[in-house]
Amino acid sequence: MGEKGDPRVPAIVLGRGPTALGILRCLTMAGIPAYVACPASDHVTHSRWYRPTPGQNAWDGSLGPHTHELLRQMPLQKAVVIAGADDAALWLTDLPNTDLASRYFLSTSSRETQEILQDKSRFSAFLQSVHVPHPRTFRIECDADIEAIPFDDLDRVFIKPVNSQKFSDVTGVKGIWVTRKAELHDAWRPLHEQGFRLMAQEYVPGTPSDHYFVDGFIDGSGEMAGLFARQRIRISPPDFGNSSYCRSIPLEQLQTPIDDVTRLLTKLNYRGIFSAEFKRDKRDGVYRILEVNTRAWTYVEFAARCGVNVCEMAYQDALGLPVHRAAVDYKVGAGCVDFYRDFNTVRVQSVQARGPLPNILLQWMGAHFHSFRLNDPKPGLHFATQILTRRRNGRTSG
């Protein structure tokens, strides 16, 4: 039962940062009682709706041999767990095979399916087998693999990890540019020695606004319960960053990518929340799929505010309830801004790149803000305070 006798089965958000905050708010919008498994110092803990998991020891979101025992001791008869990170989504695939399956419920795919989508090398091979357009990708296991790459036939090339989350956590970046084979050798070797599995990939040419996203949910019967399309307008940092400003667009604008990701996920018997990223290749206009997130994504709350609440769908599907189908005529033309990052992006862009400043100001004035909400202001205010403190300390130390 939920807090204060709420008869609804509660949900546990397993994640951190803005993604966990977005999931929590999506569940709140649906009237679903929720707890959050995250570190006590995390961004999401400042939300008015944040509650740590119940029991003597609150779950900090860490995963390992201790986690099963922690879940056994948690004073909840039943709960739905929703993942907000790749490692959490993968870890949860094994939960139905444990004694905890009668208490903790999920809407998830098999471990095999999750691994194919999360392992960039396996993902690339699978895309090739089902003929879904994607960037040319080359697995690197040794120096000979680098020598076999047709470097001169490719556009710009960068190194990317097989496991994005671990690589980003350690290096702070998603990819590393290389301009020639010798440079590729030099960049690959130390990363390989650190245990990273790496690939070289051709960069799909185009602008930030050539990035498109197909987000959605597939229920346990294989039905597409919800779809949401959005377009990236600006990115931070450049090239390998995340959307700092995006907007919702009609589904019919992305019919080919929708057909491709539907075919891909059907082949994999996928179940659950997903977010697929495409980039339109400026050379031929083809939409090439870059990745598929197998869990709630950073802008999940934005989708819910436009009318597609995939977290509510995941909760219903996990419990075997009828899944609410989202309308295809959700709110289009809505914007969402990560203001701090977007402000920095706009500040350094040329007028030709960003367009007239009055247009930017109008975008910001009409946008949903990524963390800040008038009815839940503390996460956004806390983040702003952190930024100001870091800048003040930087000036003081200088």
Q: Could you report the per-residue pLDDT of 52-96, keeping only the tens digit for each?
A: 999 988 999 999 889 999 999 999 999 999 999 999 999 999 999
**In the numeric block, which tokens belong to residue 220?**
């346990």
| pLDDT reported for residue 134 | 96
The share of the chain scoring above pLDDT 90, in percent, equals: 79
Instruction: Name the nearest CA neighbour of 23 among 68, 67, 88.
Output: 88
* Position 396 confidence tier, pLDDT thresholds 50, 70, 90: low
Distance (Å, rounded) from C-alpha 221 to C-alpha 34?
25
pLDDT, tens digit, 9 for 90 and up, residues 186-226? 989 998 888 888 999 999 999 999 999 999 999 999 999 99
Q: Judging by DSSP bridges, how do beta strands 176-178 and 157-161 pair with one another? A: antiparallel
Pick from 14-28, 137-151, 309-323: least confident: 137-151
CA–chain centroid gap for 38, Å, is: 17
User: What does 211-270 look like in DSSP terms, one character per residue?
Assistant: EEEEEEEE-TTS-EEEEEEEEEEEEESTTT-EEEEEEEE-GGGGHHHHHHHHHHHHHTT-
Query: What's the confidence (pLDDT) of residue 279?
Result: 97
Question: Mapping DSSP to helix (H, G, I), strand (E, B) and coil, where does residue 115 land?
Answer: helix
In whole angstroms, give the CA distance from residue 60 to residue 245.
30
pLDDT at 323: 97
Residue 63 CB contacts under 8 Å (≥ 6 apart), including other chains: 87, 88, 91
**Pairing state between β 198-202 and 157-161:** antiparallel
Name the pLDDT band for 173 (thresholds 50, 70, 90).
Answer: confident
At 47, the amino acid letter reads S
**pLDDT over threshold 70, residue 2:** no
Euclidean distance between CA atoms 17 and 300, whole angstroms: 13
Tell me the per-residue pLDDT of 218-256, one tens digit each, with 9 for 90 and over: 999 999 999 999 999 999 988 788 999 999 999 999 999
Q: What pTM was estimated for this model as a whole?
A: 0.93
d(CA 309, CA 313): 7
